[in-house]
Structure 1
Amino acid sequence: MAEERGVAENPKAAAGEKSETREFLTFLVKLALFVFVLRSFIVAPFNIPSESMQPRLLIGDYLIVAKWPYGYSRYSLPFSLPLIPGRVFASTPQRGDVAVFKAPPAQSQDYIKRVIGLPGDIIEIRDGQVILNGKPVQRQKIADLVIPVTQNMIDATRKEGGMSPCFRPEFEEERDGGRYCRYPQYRETLPGGKSYNVLDVVGDGPADNRDPVVVPEGRLFLMGDNRDRSADSRFPAEVGGGIGLVPEQNLVGKALFTVFSTDGSANWLLPWTWVSAARFNRIGEGF
C-alpha cells in the first residue's frame, strides 16, 4: 500500500516542480523585458573613461542618462538593435546640453560631449575661443582647477602612453603630501545663458584654430569641456580620432546627474576599500 501511495504522489510532485520552473522562467523573461524597456526608453547608466569632459566629469564618474529627451533611434537600444527605423519622437538638443551619442564614423562606441552648435550655426575656433555665428562666446578666466591625482588618472595615462596624469609635467604639483593637477580654467556662457567651466591649458594646440564650418541640417557640433584633451567635432570623423559633425540620429540620451564616483583605488576583493575609493561629494551633481 505504501508503494502504491508513493506512485500516486510522484506525478503531483513532478507537476509542482514543473510549475515552479515555469514561474521562475516567466519571472526571468519579465525581468529581462523590464530591463530592456528601462534601458532603451527611459534611463541608462554611463561611466566616464577619459578626461575629455573635465572639469565637470572625472574619470570614474557614473551617470544616469535620460533616453527620452531627443527621441529614439536604433542607437537607443542595447547593441544598437535595428528595430527602430530612422528616428521617432525626435527633438533637437539645446546648446549647452551634455549628450551621449554613438561616435562617428564607426557608430560602435558611446561618447559624451557638450552641444555647442545646432543645425544652421556657423562655428569657428580662433586662439581657443569659440566663435558662434560670428560672435565670440563669452569666456571669463576663473580660479584654476586643482584636483588630486587619482589611481584611475594614472591608469588612463599608462594606457595612452603618457608621461604625466596631469597632461604635462608643468601642470603637476605636490601639496599636503600628495600629487595634484592645476589647470587654467574658464567660465563659458552660451547665447542662451547656459554656463559651464572649461579647461584650456595649451594656447597653441592643434584644435585652437579651426576654419568656420556651417552645421548642416540634422547634424550637431559637439565639444569636450577639456578643450586640449577632447577628440570632437573640431576634427574629421576618423576611427581613433575626431567625430566630425555628429548626426542627430546618433544621439543616445541626455546626461541627468552623477549617481556614483570612484577614484580607482578600490580593490574589488577588499570590500572596505570600496568606501575609501568613493567620491561621495560628487554624487547627485546635475548638469
Structure 2
Amino acid sequence: MVSQDYHILAQFTPASLDRPRPRLYGHSLARYLFELAFMVIAIYTLVNLLSVRFLVDGVSMSPSFESGQSLFVNRLDYLFGTPQYGDIVVFHNPSNTAEDYIKRIIGLPGDVIEIRDTILYRNGAPIIETYVAEPCTPHSCPDNRWELGDNEYFVLGDNRNHSSDSRLFGPIHHSLLVGKVVFRYWPLSDIGIINR
C-alpha cells in the first residue's frame, strides 16, 4: 500500500524538482555589488544636495575652529528656518562671492550693533561672549555702530583681533548665506556635532 501511494505521488511531482538547481552565486554577487554601488552614489548625492564641505583656512575663528579642520555645512537649515544668535555660518564674501568665509552670527535683522571702548553691544546691552579668543584691542575694535536692515546679519570671527568680518564689510545679506555649520569631521580627534 505504501509503495503504491509513493508511486502515485511520484507521478505528480514536477520535473523541475528532479533537475539540479542553477547556481546563483555569480548572479547574487553582481546584484549585491550593483545595489551597493547604487546606495553609495545615492547617499553621496544626497549629502551633496543637503550640505557642503568646508575647509577652515585661517585663524579668524580660533579657538572654536582651527586652520585645516573640515566641516559639514547644512544648506537647508536657513531655507526652512532663520539664523539665530551664535550660529556659526559659512557665507559668500560680499566683495568676492567665489570666496567663502566662516563666522559667528552676532546680530539679526532689526538689531543695533555697537562697539564702544572695545565692548560689543546689541540693542544697548553688552554681549557676554565666552568663546572669544582674547579681548579686542582698540585698533581691531574701534568705536562704531550698525543698524541692521531686513534680511541683514552681523557676523564676527571669534578671534576678533585677527578676523575680517562685518566690522570691515558691514552686515551681510541673507542671500549670501551658504548654511549653518553642523558637524566637524576632520581631524578625527575633533570629530563631533557643532553647538553654538
What's the TM-score bracket when you normalise by the shorter of the two chains?
Answer: 0.7 to 0.9
How far, CA to CA, are the matches of 1:118 and 1:98 in structure 2?
13
Match of 2:78 among 70, 83, 91: 70
* Shift in alpha-carbon separation, 1:65–1:234, aligned structure 2, 3 A: same
Task: Give the corresponding residue for 1:83.
Answer: none
1:209 corresponds to which letter in structure 2? P
Assess if the C-alpha contact under 8 Å between 1:258 and 1:283 holds in 2: yes
5 Å-filtered alignment, 1:1-287, equals 31=41, 35-40=44-49, 42-71=50-79, 89=80, 91-138=81-128, 188=129, 196-200=130-134, 203-205=137-139, 207-236=140-169, 244-261=170-187, 280-284=188-192, 286-287=194-195
Letter in 1 for 2:189: N
Q: Aligned letter for 1:255?
A: V
CA displacement at 1:108 relative to structure 2:
1.2
Q: Per-residue CA shift, 1:228-282, capped at 9, x if unaligned?
A: 111000113xxxxxxx211101111111121112xxxxxxxxxxxxxxxxxx431
For 1:197, the aligned partner's letter is: Y
Q: Which runs of 5+ in 1 are unaligned?
A: 1-23, 72-88, 139-187, 189-195, 237-243, 262-279
Going from structure 1 to structure 2, the CA distance change for 1:213 and 1:203 (only over 3 Å counts) comes to: same
CA deviation map 1:75-118 (0-9, x unaligned): xxxxxxxxxxxxxx4x3200100011111022111111000000
1:120 counterpart letter in structure 2: G
Query: Structure 2: which 5+ runs fail to align?
Result: 1-33
Q: Aligned in 2, Cα 1:212/1:111: closer, same or farther, shift over 3 Å?
A: same
Tell me, what secondary structure is at the counterpart of 2:149?
A: coil
Native 8 Å contact 2:137 2:161 kept in 1: no
The 1:114–1:202 alpha-carbon spacing in structure 2 relative to 1, beyond 3 Å, is: closer
Structure 1 length normalisation: TM-score? Answer: 0.51
CA contact (8 A) 2:118 2:143 kept: no
- Root-mean-square deviation (CA, aligned residues, Å) is 2.2
3-state secondary structure, aligned to 2:131:
strand
How many angstroms apart in 2 are the aligned matches of 1:281 and 1:127? 38
- Sequence identity percentage: 35
Q: For the Cα contact (< 8 Å) 1:100–1:112, is it kept in 2?
A: yes
Question: What is the total number of aligned residue pairs between the two structures?
Answer: 159
Q: 8 Å contact 1:102–1:252 — kept in the other structure? A: yes
Q: Compared with structure 1, are the counterparts of its residues 231 and 131 closer, same or farther at alpha carbon in structure 2 (3 Å cutoff)?
A: same
SS of the residue 2:97 aligns to: coil
| Alpha-carbon contact 1:128-1:200 (below 8 Å) kept | no
Partner of 1:109, secondary structure, is strand
TM superposition shift of 1:34: 6.3
Can you list the C-alpha shifts for 1:51-97, whole angstroms capped at 9, x where unaligned?
A: 000110001111111111101xxxxxxxxxxxxxxxxx4x3200100
Secondary structure class of the residue paired with 1:209: coil
